[in-house]
Amino acid sequence: MIKLTINGKMTELEVSEDMPLLWALRDVAKLTGSKYGCGKGICGACTVHIDGQAMRSCITPTSYAQGKSITTIEGLSEQGDHPVQKAWLKHNVAQCGYCQTGQIMSASALLAQNNNPSDEDINNAMAGNICRCGTYPRIRAAIKDAAKTQEASS
């Protein structure tokens, strides 16, 4: 039994310590927002926050997350109104949508640390997130828009 804090709630999961966190979240906790993409931590579809840092859950052992705070896309905003989520809709970012959870989680982690990112900051933070549809210009625009929204509400 492993105790994890997921989206602000203490949860006990009956999983092995070396099980990838992605599978504990999807298969056991039934939080299916994080997606399996490559299984090697390269594509970013499985990105979650662990203590506020964007991390690839497909290569993170569940034991690593013990005693830390895990946030999935389901816990980012109860109403789906996080500034990044709103900007994603405004800029029509998603096409197929498969990578969007990871993209949003990486972007929101960036903005939590830097509410006025440069293009280089965005490139660095988002470099590990692959979008097969190629919506990168809209992703960048949405991140910049969300940054303005966050800055205005601060």
What confidence tens digit (pLDDT) does each residue in 25-47 have?
A: 999 999 999 999 999 999 999 99
Is-contact 22 14, C-beta < 8 A? no
| Distance (Å, whole) CA 153 – CA 49 | 22
Helix axes 136-153, 100-113, angle to 10 degrees: 40
Q: Which CATH architecture has domain 2-76?
A: Roll (3.10)
**CA atoms in the 13 A half-sphere facing the CB of 66:** 14
Token representation of residue 120: 């280089």
Q: List, by residue range, all CATH 3.10.20.30 domains of the chain.
A: 2-76
**CATH superfamily of this structure's domain 83-153:** [2Fe-2S]-binding domain (1.10.150.120)
103-114 pLDDT, tens per residue?
999 999 999 999
Residue 151 has pLDDT above 70, yes or no: no
Q: What is the pLDDT of residues 113-132, one digit of tens each?
A: 999 999 999 999 999 899 99
d(CA 107, CA 31): 20
Structure confidence by residue, pLDDT tens digits, 57-104 = 999 999 999 999 999 999 999 899 999 999 999 999 998 889 999 999
d(CA 152, CA 146): 10
The reported pLDDT for the residue numbered 149 is 83
Per-residue pLDDT for 11 more than 80?
yes
Q: Once rounded to an integer, what is the mean pLDDT over residues 144-152? A: 83
| Strand arrangement, sheet containing 2-6 | 9-13, 2-6, 69-71, 47-50, 53-56
Q: Where does CATH 1.10.150.120 sit in the chain?
A: 83-153
Task: Tell me the pTM.
Answer: 0.94
